[in-house]
A and B are shown apart, each in its own frame.
Chain A
Amino acid sequence: MAALTADDLAAIASRIHDQNASWIRVGMSTCGIAAGAERVYAALEDELQRQGAGVQLKKCGCLGMCAAEPLVEVNIAGMPRVIYCRVDEACARDIVRGHVCGGKLLQDYIIDMQSEDAS
């Protein structure tokens, strides 16, 4: 591929931003994987397929709340964006069935972080 120019950056950025607005992200750094994030990811992948939910499943790094891993962040159009903590495989399937398909937030799993993001 030819070397990128500065204009290409903007084109790539807008292509990414256009993608599906609904997604699930799993923290897959060492802390997450050690706590079982790979099993959670597989369970989410499997359940999303079973339910036929058109939601993008993504991997990401560490959000900083390592003690609460595995962390799963869920953004479904029309619902608040939330992070679930200490997710296991059963909970992962509940996320797909309850939150993604059923429009309900799971009880007792949500973690909220008080932080200010820089732009």
Chain B
Amino acid sequence: MITKTVLIKDTTPGSTSGTKEFFDVFTAALRESKLADEIRLVRAADIGVYNHGIVLKILPDNITYANVQHHDIKRIIGVTLKHGNPIKDLLYQPRAYQLRLVLKNCGRIDPESIDDYIAHDGYRALSAALQAGPDTVIREITASGLRGRGGGGFPTGLKWSMTRSTPGNEKYMICNADEGDPGAYMDRSVLEGDPHAVIEGMLIAGFAIGASQGYFYIRAEYPLAIERVQKAIDQAHAYGLVGERIFGSDFSMDLEIRLGAGAFVCGEETALIASIEGKRGTPSPRPPYPSVKGLWGKPTCINNVETLANVPSIIRNGSAWFSRIGTENSKGTKVFAVTGKVRNSGLIEVPMGTTLRDIVFEIGGGTASGKRFKAVQTGGPSGGVIPEHLLDTPVDYDNLQKLGSIMGSGGMIVMDEDDCMVDIAKFYLKFCVDESCGKCAPCRIGGYQMLNLLENISRGNATLEDLERLRLIAKAMQKASLCGLGQTAANPVLSTLRYFEDEYREHILNRRCPSKKCTALLQFIIDRSRCKKCGLCARSCPEKAITGDKEHGYTIDTARCINCGMCFETCKFGAVERN
């Protein structure tokens, strides 16, 4: 009869056989103690703890031990496995926990079953909200301190009450699911994993502001999210949770999906509204804000997916419960899509105020390659990079802004020593230049000129004055652009300049790229001593710049080489050097 299960994982960096070895020793020890039939040992693939030696997790006691040595096995068997008592000095104390509020149901319920959602407290908040009345709902949301999760961080309760207090008998509710930051996919996962939570949030918001029609603005690149949201709307319709006289009350609201064609600027609210109206998706000057004059000229409230997904649990558990989580001015949790050079790419949800270090190293598991961490980029093309010495900053709206980045929608891209900061700045700026709608000159022209300057730097054709020019144009764009896209497009450049100016200078003064990323500054040569004369590099070269044969070896003709780096990538023996 099996009574306990022990999960085993060696979390020492680079270790490959530690888990197996420990497993074998433990198995023998169990046999010796005549417990082999009662304790089940399992080698885990991942135990959620990193760089803590051998880690054990004992179930069903839910005890986690870290840095376990072979000589601890006897104690563990005697104290924990036989008597169920924890051993204090081995206990693992996590520095950071995930706290799943928005992602509570994601991966737990069937997103295509409304019954499953209802079984997990679904639509109870809507029922409670309809009974409490719009003023109470707005008061609760205001008191909770919930702020917009799309990036701006505008207080949700204030937005709702502004829309509510604007006179008019026709108002609209819009869910902004036009998630466009490179590497960010929190909203997609919520829509795919728990669509009813967003629908319930939409209905509560619509009730609070006095809307009778709501739109999901979802980008067409998210076919599965669209399919599941549509299915969820249909199911809610069949149950009478969307449509006429919801829960038998006087409140009626319909929901529809509108597809976005994938223009980044359509995440900006005025451009989004234009897009729903069937016009070209370009922003217009604010004020008037959408809460006054929005969709078809009517008062409109636009909330992000994650913001709305927070609403039902706030109504269910009360504003006091929510405002206990997080920091002074940033309440609740935030979902981050941690990607890039990190071991565990994926979605994590942490209370506001968790440090970047805990997010990247404790939960994310550090860099995938084990190479030195360099910086983390937050906020997508509107954000900036945060270098290692600032990793202990607690994440919230205000702190990230102080560091020259923003919270943004939750994209978090981890970069290691192989990433060049000029290259990163170029990537994000290029994104904004591509996505600029072209309506206002500061964004259209400024972005292009800045990109040219960055190109020159990465080719080694720049002077130190160009850095000042970059700062000057950036300032003009920030001040004079029409919408958020242009106002923030320079942020990645400014923040890399702020923390990594020496890297820019190295490119300009010494024509050297320290991370060996800017290929124009590199020279490729074949190291004869390591070359196995296989000829792979010659075949991969698009310019036929590598000559030679299998007998005499190969050489790169530097005059014809275009520095593409293909030979470097293909060589299996590390014989191609780049300097």
Contacts from A to B (Cβ < 8 Å)? 1-6, 9, 12-13, 15-17, 25, 27, 29-31, 33, 58-68, 71, 73, 80, 85-86, 103-118
Contact = CB atoms under 8 A, between A and B. Distances in A.
Contacts of A112: 7, 44, 46-48, 57
Contact of A33 (B121, B224, B225, B244): B224
A30 B40 CA distance: 34
Nearest to B333: A118
A60 B193 contact: yes
B119 A113 contact: no
Given A29-B189, A60-B109, A115-B97, A68 B239 contact: no
Contact of A62 (B98, B189, B343): B189
Contacts of B2: 103
A103 B40 CA distance: 11
Given A113-B98, A115-B48, 16 more contacts: A9-B122, A9-B127, A12-B115, A13-B119, A15-B115, A16-B116, A17-B119, A60-B108, A61-B107, A61-B109, A85-B46, A110-B43, A112-B57, A115-B99, A116-B97, A118-B99
Contact of B347 (A66, A107, A108): A66
Contacts of A30: 185, 188-189, 192, 222, 224-225
Given A3-B239, A29-B193, A114-B98, A80 B5 contact: yes
A106 B189 CA distance: 28
A71 B245 CA distance: 40
Nearest to B4: A80
B192 A62 contact: yes
Nearest to B236: A4
A83 to B, nearest CB: 9
B101 A107 contact: no
B115 A2 contact: no
Nearest to A68: B46
Contact of B45 (A25, A62, A68, A80): A68
Nearest to A6: B127
A40 to B, nearest CB: 15
B100 A1 contact: no
Interface in B522-551: none
Contacts of A86: 45
B48 A4 contact: no
Contacts of A58: 110
B519 interface: no
**Size class of the contact patch on chain B:** 35 or more
Contacts of B345: 66-67
A24 to B, nearest CB: 12
A64 B57 CA distance: 21
A118 B313 contact: yes
B506 to A, nearest CB: 33
- Give the most central of A62, A85, A106, A108: most B CB within 10 Å: A62
Interface string B324-355: 00000000000000000001111111000000
A66 B193 CA distance: 13
14 contacts: A3-B244, A13-B118, A29-B192, A30-B192, A30-B224, A31-B185, A31-B189, A60-B109, A64-B107, A85-B45, A106-B42, A110-B7, A112-B7, A116-B97
A16 B110 CA distance: 12
Interface string B45-63: 1111100000001011000
B111 A61 contact: yes
A77 to B, nearest CB: 13
Contacts of B44: 108, 110-112
A60 B347 CA distance: 15
Nearest to A73: B107
A16 B239 contact: no
Interface string B111-130: 11001101101111001000
Nearest to A110: B44
B104 interface: yes
A67 B191 CA distance: 19
Contact of A29 (B64, B122, B224): B224
A16 B349 contact: no
B110 A64 contact: no
Contacts of A63: 106-108
A3 B97 contact: no
B106 A64 contact: yes
A68 B111 CA distance: 20
A27 B57 CA distance: 24
B246 interface: yes
A113 B343 CA distance: 14
B42 A62 contact: no
B2 to A, nearest CB: 8
A104 B40 CA distance: 9
A97 to B, nearest CB: 16
Given A3-B245, A5-B247, A61 B347 contact: no
Contacts of A15: 115, 119
Contact of A111 (B45, B194, B244): B45
Contacts of B110: 58-60
Q: Which 3 A-B pairs have the closest CB atoms?
A: A61-B193, A3-B240, A63-B107
A63 B100 CA distance: 10
A81 B123 CA distance: 28
A89 to B, nearest CB: 17
Contact of B98 (A1, A105, A115): A115
Contact of A12 (B48, B64, B119): B119
B46 A105 contact: no
B423 to A, nearest CB: 24
A3 B45 contact: no
Contacts of A109: 45
Nearest to B193: A61
B180 to A, nearest CB: 16
A116 B46 contact: no
Contact of B240 (A4, A60, A64, A106): A4
Interface in B1-57: 2, 5, 7, 40, 42-49, 57
